[in-house]
Amino acid sequence: MIDPDAIARPRGRQQQPQPQGQRAPGDDDPVRNSVFAHGIGIREVNANRRMTPAASSLIEVSRYVYRELITDDFNIQKSIVPEYLDYYATALLWFRITKLKCLAHDVLTQEEERLLSIITGCSLYVPEPFMLQLLMFGRIQTLTGAHLCSEFPPLPTEVVQGFGGYYGPISADTHNLYEEIPCLGVTSESVRHSISNDPPGRYHSSLERPADNIIPNENLLGFKPLGARCEEAKNFAFFAGITSEEFPVSLPNTGINLDFIRSISGILSRTKTFKTTRLDITTMAESGSITQAIMQKPIPATETTQKRGEIYSFANFGGQDLASAYGLGLVYTPNLFKEGLTPGLIAEWCCINTPPVEYINNRNDRRDTIPPGYREEVFTSSTQSGQQYRQHMVRMMLTTKR
């Protein structure tokens, strides 16, 4: 099991004993003389620096979790389909984000305040791959001593074609959010299509606007082609009042159906594939993982770029004792730069097929919030195939023997 506490607080290197009569390295450093500390006070100039991490790999992780669940118990697919699990993971994410905003004393929207009121005391079962995503976000102290705090957009409440939970129409202002943080509008729409009579394959997204050349692709997080579905699994959504044309919500315009979320939690509570924790997300600590201060970049020369292709992590701090933090970054990609400007490579990161130049120019705006020093490649990890590494690490979290 990956220990997020160890990632958030890297252990120090062990001091090796020195032969008698020899001075340890650093003993001659003048700063070891405490007399120079006299009259000197040190303070952090800005203890509330903000960063805007992403969860761009959460849906992909969700699909790997689903695959492992049905490998252990084929009957799972008679209860839930992959779209249910994507929706559940997205809901957990927004529960965590909203509570973190409260702990950071951010001004909450009315919908965020109401969300906290209805989820406080609500315990849900969280598989370890989802838990690590939740634990990653939060306030951290870097190895320089500086503090960084996660910052997120408001809970999405824009209405598209009669359903809420979206960031709004896909545009130069919203495409980065749709590519980096899944929203309940998109994942609840996928649930509605999964219980429809639509054949396997692509469906038309509500965000599609052909007249404006807005044709979403799979980089729109939560928008994936439908697979074959068991009819029994559709009943699971019907019991929560969900149909292909209706999605009842516990909070207007948010896409949150708490009854449906609790039902999915109940199914997960009976699985043994991963360590599953019963958790009231509002009780989680404010602290997060130092992985949020580690960047990721794809290798643009490869045929497949971005999170599924060859990627590596980098930061201005390092050491082998931080290898887990670098590896965690490759799995969840909290700071993945969007590289590649040719049409083929743009299609690897943009949520529409033919983006205007504005989308290209601002594609990494959410990476620019972290202080410049943290974007310097002082230490880099080995390169990994993002897709294969992510799948392998999800399998490393299995608790069942095969």
Q: Which residues contact 402 (CB under 8 A, 6 or more apart)?
A: 71, 72
Contacts 24+ apart (CB under 8 A), 11-16: 11/321, 13/319, 13/321
**b or e along 346-377 (b: 16 or more beta carbons within 10 Å of the residue's beta carbon)?**
bbbbbbbeebeeebbeebbebbeebbeebbee
Angle between helices 58-72 and 82-103 (to 10 degrees): 130
- How far apart CA 273 and CA 115 sit, in angstroms, is 30
**The pLDDT value given to residue 34:** 75
DSSP secondary structure string, 81-134? Answer: -HHHHHHHHHHHHHHHHHHHHHHTTPPPPHHHHHHHHHHTT-EEEEEHHHHHHH
Cα dist from 349 to 178, 238, 247, 345, 360, whole Å: 11, 35, 29, 7, 10
Rounded CA-CA distance 67/65 in Å is 5
Helix (H, G, I), strand (E, B) or coil at 320: helix
CA dist 97 → 93, 135, 155 (Å): 6, 11, 9
pLDDT score for 7: 47
Contact assessment for residue 230 and residue 245, using Cβ atoms and an 8 Å cutoff: no
Cβ neighbour number for residue 65 with a 10 Å cutoff: 24
The residue type found at 375 is R
**Contact (CB, 8 A) for 279 and 128:** no
Query: CA 120, 123, 128, 134: dihedral to nearest 10 degrees?
Result: -10
Look at residue 19 in the predicted model and tell me its pLDDT: 56
Amino acid identity of residue 45, one-letter, is: V
Give me the residue label for tokens 């580690």: 294
pLDDT (0 to 100) of residue 45: 83
Looking from the CA of 45 toward its CB, the CA atoms found within 13 Å total 0
Which of 61, 79, 73 is closest to 128 using CA atoms?
61
d(CA 275, CA 147): 31
Q: Which residues contact 146 (CB under 8 A, 6 or more apart)?
A: 44, 49, 371
Q: Is 327 helix (H, G, I), strand (E, B) or coil?
A: helix
Confidence at residue 8, expressed as pLDDT on a 0 to 100 scale: 46
**pTM for this prediction:** 0.90
Separation of alpha carbons 169 and 178, rounded Å: 10
**Which candidate, 61, 64, 136, places its Cα nearest to that of 100?**
136
Alpha-carbon distance 304 to 321, whole Å? 30
**Residues of the chain predicted below pLDDT 50:** 5, 7-13
